[in-house]
């Protein structure tokens, strides 16, 4: 595995608009930052690639393309994308305050009614993706964010390994 690229702490905002505030998470492809979007006047999540191999870049491009094509209340919204001066790509999505389903489950089991209701909401999100031939492929509690900790407001995250079965060749 390649080492992480240096963390970003720019003196000026990315593309003159995204002011990075704090690291929110780190994964296999990149680092996610909480940032202020000066144009939209709202908080956003900025995912920055930390490696620049062509295979990782292609996967990141696919994630951007798939997320951009999806529009569902229970799937995190795409906002923007770009390239940093050092050549690394970034993706901007809505910022969601809350906790992951994994964090919630760590505190205790859901009731049967809560599990059924949450399952229906997440099935709706996955169904919307599937209708567009998109398979998430990493559906797990840590990739479900509960807005404000509310089980009725889930957001499906991380389409980094998702596939478009109509256009992907592998």
* Catalytic residue IDs: 138
**Strand 98-100, strand 78-83: pairing:** unpaired
Contact 84, 49 (CB under 8 A): no
Contact 144, 121 (CB under 8 A): no
Looking up tokens 């240096």, which residue turns up?
A: 6
Distance between CA atoms of residues 116 and 144, nearest Å: 15
Looking up tokens 């999540």, which residue turns up?
A: 45
């Amino acid at each position: 595995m390649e080492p992480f690229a240096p963390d970003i702490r720019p003196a000026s905002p990315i593309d003159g608009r995204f002011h990075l505030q704090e690291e929110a998470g780190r994964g296999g492809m990149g680092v996610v930052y909480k940032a202020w979007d000066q144009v939209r006047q709202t908080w956003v999540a900025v995912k920055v690639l930390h490696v620049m191999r062509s295979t990782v870049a292609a996967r990141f491009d696919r994630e951007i393309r798939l997320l951009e094509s999806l529009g569902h209340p229970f799937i995190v919204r795409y906002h923007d994308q770009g390239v940093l001066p050092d050549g690394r790509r970034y993706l901007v999505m809505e910022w969601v305050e809350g906790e992951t389903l994994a964090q919630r489950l760590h505190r205790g089991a859901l009731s049967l009614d809560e599990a059924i209701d949450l399952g229906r909401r997440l099935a709706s999100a996955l169904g919307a993706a599937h209708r567009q031939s998109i398979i998430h492929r990493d559906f797990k509690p840590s990739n479900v964010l509960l807005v404000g900790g509310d089980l009725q407001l889930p957001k499906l995250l991380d389409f980094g390994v998702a596939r478009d079965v109509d256009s992907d060749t592998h």
